[in-house]
Structure 1
Amino acid sequence: MDHTQASTPIARPAPRVAGDRRLAEPLISLRGASLAYGARMLWRDLDLDVLPGEFVAVLGPNGSGKTSLLRVLLGQQQLSAGAATVLGRAPRRGNRHIGYVPQHKSLPAHTMLRARDLVRLGTDGHRWGITLAPGAVGRRVDDLLESVGATPYAEVPVGRLSGGEQQRVRIAQALATDPRILLCDEPLLSLDLQSQHTVTTLVDRRRRSAGTAVVFVTHEINPVLGLADRILYLAQGGFRIGPPDEVMTTSTLSELYGTQVDVLRVRGRIVVVGAPDAATVHHHEGGPNGGGRP
């Protein structure tokens, strides 16, 4: 067996939500899934089930296919081989049962779209014509803003918000349709430690309270280390799936990369040394947009 492409057997851990849902049907299922761009294979023969309330962190170097995996689940990218189902059906665009938090990109300061407007797009931006119940939509937007702690800046143009505040608003937008699945694509980029903690706490609260399945793409394991039920680590055209303590080890990553990789644990944090793109799991201190709103 080619161990660079093998995975641990599919596990069904108990999600961290009320009630025993170990027998629940997966919300996401991949079987023999492969994705390639021309002759370049990103990953192949991927089997993965994601259960209600489960938090799966997706790690790996740049170009390993993390974002492409989300695009497959969103119905924006076709697999090269194998099958994928989302909520029991083939992935499709515009699925209201999927919430999506994109990569953090600061908006220009002159952007006049208010935080409230951005969240409202999540509730009725997919509809044509006039909203039939504007009052109900407004109350829904207020509730969403409050749920992520964004009420104080609901009327502020998004371009004037800090990186952490913008991500709060994007999470509110992603939750607008009460999704059963939440897909997060590098939502922690350029955020300071406090903002990273805020974003991960909001996502974790949602999956615990509503049983929402979370697939969380990240370059950093440490902010989600205590939250992730399993890690899907993509590298060198292969992958590993399993609990953090099984995947984030010297032996596992060395085998996956085909070279010596050292995984160090220092004061409850993980540092990876020797990987071709070791920065993928190092901790960043945040960027210029991580602080408070100007």
Structure 2
Amino acid sequence: MSAEETAAPAAPVFSLRRAALAYGDRVVWRDLNLDVRAGEFLAVLGPNGSGKTSLLRVLLGRQQLTGGSASVLGGSPCRSGTRIGYVPQHTSLPAHTALRARDLVRLGLDGHRWGPPRASAAARRRVEELLALVGATPYADAPVARLSGGELQCVRIAQALAADPRILLCDEPLLSLDLNHQRSVTALVDRWRRCAGTAVVFVTHEINPVLGMADRVLYLAHGGFRVGPPDEVMTSAALSRLYGTRVDVVRVRDRIIVVGAPDESTVHDRAAGHGEGSNGNALS
């Protein structure tokens, strides 16, 4: 047996142990055990109110769990700092915003420091490299408020990658984007994680744009979860058991359509129950 075969698996970049999140009496999810390793692409799905964005906030150290524990890069989430890149949900910016695209990327390098940015040749080169990486060089000097949704998301990805993060958190980055821009954004994220070994946690309402990229899916609903490879999670049996009602998952060519999932109000009203995991991440 070779040394590679006997070597222990790399330590996870973040771990959740019996993690729980609740708002008052409403349990969003509980008993969530999850390890994510370098280079892994985890897609996070679920209806509104299922705790997808809250999960990212926990990993960023901005929200406390109500039970269990979270470890990020070997320590508490609040100590991870610039080693986590964050791409927020797409929102339009006020028309008077003075920042240019290159200024937004530059904030990813030194926006966490007090005082004006340091005018160094190395920082300028890094900004140019990132702009080129995401294809934003042609509009580098355009005010960010004038960029299209797809252009702005590409610039935000460049900003998130500025400090070479070990974990990239993407919160619904495809909202309001047309199909072409969805493809360009997902391809950018996937290419980076494959080249740099960055772990990606990609929150989305629809699996299809990332179906060919996701190593695993974390589906949050009904106060529980299901986690595993897409072919195990995105099935009628798995989602029906998670929701507690009949859900049909239909595959058409290379697309998945989920039919019959309860609406968000039903999920909120029935937020007590357990979900199931797989691949060593089952609820106990």
Task: State whether TM-score is above 0.5.
Answer: yes
1:59 — aligned with what?
A: 45
2:120 — aligned with what?
A: 134
2:167 — aligned with what?
A: 181
1:168 matches 2:154: yes
Cα distance in 1 for partners of 2:79, 2:171 equals: 17
* Alignment TM-score, normalising by the size of structure 1: 0.85
Report if aligned partners of 1:116, 1:145 keep a CA contact under 8 Å in 2: yes
2:217 — aligned with what?
A: 231
Cα distance in 1 for partners of 2:211, 2:187 equals: 12
RMSD: 1.6
1:24 — aligned with what?
A: 10
Residue type of the alignment partner of 2:121: G
Report if aligned partners of 2:72, 2:80 keep a CA contact under 8 Å in 1: no
1:213 matches 2:181: no
1:75 matches 2:61: yes
More helix by share: 2
* Alignment TM-score, normalising by the size of structure 2: 0.88
1:288 — aligned with what?
A: none
2:272 — aligned with what?
A: none
Cα distance in 2 for partners of 1:131, 1:125 equals: 7
1:47 matches 2:33: yes
1:87 — aligned with what?
A: 73
Secondary structure at the residue paired with 1:96?
helix
Residue type of the alignment partner of 2:28: L
Report if aligned partners of 1:234, 1:240 keep a CA contact under 8 Å in 2: yes
Alignment partner for residue 119 of structure 1, among 73, 82, 105? 105
Cα distance in 1 for partners of 2:118, 2:173 equals: 33
Secondary structure at the residue paired with 1:106?
coil
Cα distance in 1 for partners of 2:143, 2:16 equals: 40
Secondary structure at the residue paired with 2:9?
coil
Residue type of the alignment partner of 1:204: D
Cα distance in 2 for partners of 1:254, 1:196 equals: 28
Report if aligned partners of 1:76, 1:93 keep a CA contact under 8 Å in 2: no
Are residues 232 and 39 of structure 1, via their aligned partners in 2, closer, same or farther at CA, if it must alter by over 3 Å? same
Shift of the alpha carbon at 1:128?
1.5
State the aligned residue count. 259
Residue type of the alignment partner of 2:112: H
1:108 — aligned with what?
A: 94
> Structure 1 regions of 5+ residues with no counterpart?
1-19, 279-294
Residue type of the alignment partner of 2:114: W
Deviations 1:171-219 (A, max 9, x none): 0000011100000000000000000000000000111000000000000
Shift of the alpha carbon at 1:109?
3.3
Cα distance in 1 for partners of 2:196, 2:8 equals: 15
2:261 — aligned with what?
A: 275
